[in-house]
Amino acid sequence: MELSSSTSHMLLILALLILSFMLNFSSAAYNVTYDSRSLIIDGQRKLLISAAIHYPRSVPSMWPGLVQLAKEGGVDAIETYVFWNGHELSPNNYYFGGRFDLVKFCKIVQQSGLYLILRIGPFVAAEWNFGGIPVWLHYIPGTVFRTDNEPFKYYMQKFMIYIVNLMKKEKLFASQGGPIILAQVENEYGFYETAYGEGGKRYALWAARMAVSQNTGVPWIMCEQFDAPDPVIDTCNSFYCDQFKSLSPNKPKIWTENWPGWYKTFGGRDPHRPPEDVAFSVARFFQKGGSLQNYYMYHGGTNFGRTSGGPFITTSYDYNAPIDEYGLARCPKWGHLKELHRSIKLCEHALVNSEPKVLSLGPLQEADVYEDASGVCAAFISNMDDKNDKMVEFRNMSYYLPSWSVSILPDCKNVAFNTAKVGSQTSTVEMIPTDLQPSTNLPNKDLKGLQWDVFVEKAGIWADANFSINGLVDHINTTKDTTDYLWYTTSLLVDETEGFTRNGSSPILIVESKGHALHVFVNQKLQASAFGNATVSPFIFRSPISLKAGKNEIALLSMTAGLQNAGAFYEWTGAGPTQVRIEGLKNGTVNMSSYKWTNRIGLQGENLRIYDSIGLNGVNWVSTSEPPKEQPLTWYKAELNPPPGDEPIGLDMIHMGKGLAWLNGQEIGRYWPRKCSKHEECVQQCDYRGKFSPDKCSTGCGEPSQRWYHVPRSWFKPSGNVLVIFEEIGGDPTSIQFSRRKISSVCSHISEDHPSFDFEHFQKDGAGDYNNKATVSLKCQKNTQISAVKFASFGNPVGTCGSYAQGECHDPSSISIVKKVCLNKTECALELTKDNFDMELCPGSVKKLAVEVVCT
Using CB under 6 A as the binding rule, whether residue 677 contacts ligand NAG is answered as yes
Q: Which is nearer to ligand NAG, 466 or 523 (CB)?
A: 466
Sign, CA dihedral 698-704-705-709, equals: negative
Q: Which is nearer to ligand NAG, 643 or 700 (CB)?
A: 700
Q: Which is nearer to ligand NAG, 87 or 600 (CB)?
A: 600
Nearest to 131 by CA among 140, 122, 143: 122
Using CB under 6 A as the binding rule, whether residue 856 contacts ligand NAG is answered as no
When computed from its CA atoms, the radius of gyration of the chain, rounded to whole angstroms, is 30
Report the amino acid identity of residue 611: Y
Stretch that binds ligand NAG, among 15-23, 46-54, 558-566, 590-598 (CB under 6 A): 590-598
Stretch that binds ligand NAG, among 128-136, 256-264, 577-585, 720-728 (CB under 6 A): 577-585
Q: Which of 188, 512, 667, 752 is catalytic?
A: 188
Report the amino acid identity of residue 675: K
Q: Are 346 and 410 in contact (CB under 8 A)?
A: yes
Task: Please report, for residues 383, 388, 411, 590, the alpha-carbon distance to residue 403 in angstroms, rounded to integers and kept in the order given.
Answer: 6, 5, 23, 63
Using CB under 6 A as the binding rule, whether residue 107 contacts ligand NAG is answered as no
Q: Are 531 and 542 in contact (CB under 8 A)?
A: no
Is 752 marked active-site? no
Residue 531: partners with Cβ closer than 8 Å, 6 or more residues away: 267, 516, 517, 518, 539, 674
In the bound complex, which residue of the shown chain has the CB atom lying closest to ligand NAG? 499
Stretch that binds ligand NAG, among 48-56, 530-538, 555-563, 734-742 (CB under 6 A): 530-538
Residue 661 CA to residue 175 CA, distance in Å, equals: 44
Q: Strand 848-855 to strand 786-795: parallel, antiparallel, or no bridges (unpaired)?
A: antiparallel
Report the amino acid identity of residue 296: Y
Nearest to 526 by CA among 618, 459, 600: 459
Q: Which is nearer to ligand NAG, 594 or 800 (CB)?
A: 594
Stretch that binds ligand NAG, among 81-89, 112-120, 401-409, 583-591 (CB under 6 A): 583-591
725 DSSP β-pair partners: 636, 661
Q: Work out the end-to-end distance of the chain between its first and last CA atoms, rounded to an integer number of angstroms.
A: 62
**What track of x and - describes contact with ligand NAG for positions 601 through 640 (by CB under 6 A)?**
x---------------------------------------
Q: Which is nearer to ligand NAG, 438 or 673 (CB)?
A: 673
Stretch that binds ligand NAG, among 295-303, 437-445, 492-500, 830-838 (CB under 6 A): 492-500
**What track of x and - describes contact with ligand NAG for positions 366 through 405 (by CB under 6 A)?**
-----------------------------xx---------
* Torsion (CA) 811, 813, 814, 819 in degrees, nearest 10: 180
Residue 695 CA to residue 271 CA, distance in Å, equals: 7
Using CB under 6 A as the binding rule, whether residue 144 contacts ligand NAG is answered as no
Q: Are 116 and 79 in contact (CB under 8 A)?
A: yes
Least Å distance, CB 8 to ligand NAG, is 40
Using CB under 6 A as the binding rule, whether residue 585 contacts ligand NAG is answered as yes
Least Å distance, CB 677 to ligand NAG, is 5
For the segment 263-292, give every residue that binds ligand NAG (CB under 6 A). 267
Using CB under 6 A as the binding rule, whether residue 664 contacts ligand NAG is answered as no
Using CB under 6 A as the binding rule, whether residue 477 contacts ligand NAG is answered as yes
Using CB under 6 A as the binding rule, whether residue 28 contacts ligand NAG is answered as no
One of 500, 595, 621, 759 touching ligand NAG (CB under 6 A)? 500
Report the amino acid identity of residue 323: I
Q: Which is nearer to ligand NAG, 466 or 751 (CB)?
A: 466
One of 574, 618, 628, 694 touching ligand NAG (CB under 6 A)? 574
Q: Which is nearer to ligand NAG, 64 or 499 (CB)?
A: 499
Q: Are 359 and 371 in contact (CB under 8 A)?
A: no
Least Å distance, CB 604 to ligand NAG, is 10
- What count of residues does the chain have? 856
Using CB under 6 A as the binding rule, whether residue 591 contacts ligand NAG is answered as yes
Is 188 marked active-site? yes
Q: Are 594 and 345 in contact (CB under 8 A)?
A: no
User: How is the chain split among helix, strand and coil, in percent rounded to 5?
Assistant: 20, 35, 45
Using CB under 6 A as the binding rule, whether residue 456 contacts ligand NAG is answered as no
For the segment 80-99, give every residue that binds ligand NAG (CB under 6 A). none
- Backbone dihedral angles phi then psi of residue 467, each to the nearest 5 degrees: -170, 165
Cβ neighbours around 443 below 10 Å, total: 7
Stretch that binds ligand NAG, among 245-253, 585-593, 610-618, 664-672 (CB under 6 A): 585-593
Using CB under 6 A as the binding rule, whether residue 685 contacts ligand NAG is answered as no
**What track of x and - describes contact with ligand NAG for positions 30 through 49 (by CB under 6 A)?**
-x-x------x--x------
Kind and range of the H or E element at 746? strand 737-751
Using CB under 6 A as the binding rule, whether residue 763 contacts ligand NAG is answered as no
Q: Which is nearer to ligand NAG, 20 or 31 (CB)?
A: 31
Q: Are 40 and 292 in contact (CB under 8 A)?
A: no
Stretch that binds ligand NAG, among 375-383, 528-536, 757-765, 835-843 (CB under 6 A): 528-536
Q: Which is nearer to ligand NAG, 123 or 394 (CB)?
A: 394
Q: Strand 220-223 to strand 233-238: parallel, antiparallel, or no bridges (unpaired)?
A: parallel
Using CB under 6 A as the binding rule, whether residue 499 contacts ligand NAG is answered as yes
Nearest to 845 by CA among 807, 815, 817: 807
Using CB under 6 A as the binding rule, whether residue 497 contacts ligand NAG is answered as no
Least Å distance, CB 43 to ligand NAG, is 6
Using CB under 6 A as the binding rule, whether residue 549 contacts ligand NAG is answered as no
Q: Which of 79, 186, 257, 325 is catalytic?
A: 257
Instruction: Tell me how many degrees the CA angle 192-245-342 measures, rounded to the nearest 5.
Output: 115
Report the amino acid identity of residue 297: M
Kind and range of the H or E element at 167? helix 150-169
Residue 855 CA to residue 843 CA, distance in Å, equals: 34
Residue 578 CA to residue 488 CA, distance in Å, equals: 11
Q: Which is nearer to ligand NAG, 121 or 532 (CB)?
A: 532
Cβ neighbours around 629 below 10 Å, total: 14
One of 587, 620, 783, 856 touching ligand NAG (CB under 6 A)? 587
Instruction: Tell me how many degrees the CA angle 337-316-694 measures, rounded to the nearest 5.
Output: 55
Residue 20 CA to residue 781 CA, distance in Å, equals: 38
Q: Which is nearer to ligand NAG, 349 or 413 (CB)?
A: 413
Stretch that binds ligand NAG, among 308-316, 532-540, 776-784, 838-846 (CB under 6 A): 532-540
Least Å distance, CB 138 to ligand NAG, is 9
Q: Which is nearer to ligand NAG, 337 or 486 (CB)?
A: 486
One of 227, 474, 732, 831 touching ligand NAG (CB under 6 A)? 474
* Residue 173 CB-density burial (10 A; 0-12 exposed, 13-18 middle, 19+ buried): buried
One of 594, 624, 816, 833 touching ligand NAG (CB under 6 A)? 594
Least Å distance, CB 584 to ligand NAG, is 6
Using CB under 6 A as the binding rule, whether residue 694 contacts ligand NAG is answered as no
Reported as half-sphere exposure (CB side, CA atoms, 13 A), residue 449 has a value of 7
222 DSSP β-pair partners: 234
Residue 411 CA to residue 422 CA, distance in Å, equals: 21
Can you give the binding site for ligand NAG, defined by CB under 6 A?
Answer: 31, 33, 40, 43, 267, 395-396, 464, 466, 474, 477, 492, 499-500, 503, 505, 533, 535-536, 574, 579, 581, 585, 587, 590-591, 593-594, 601, 677, 823-824
* Catalytic residue set: 188, 257
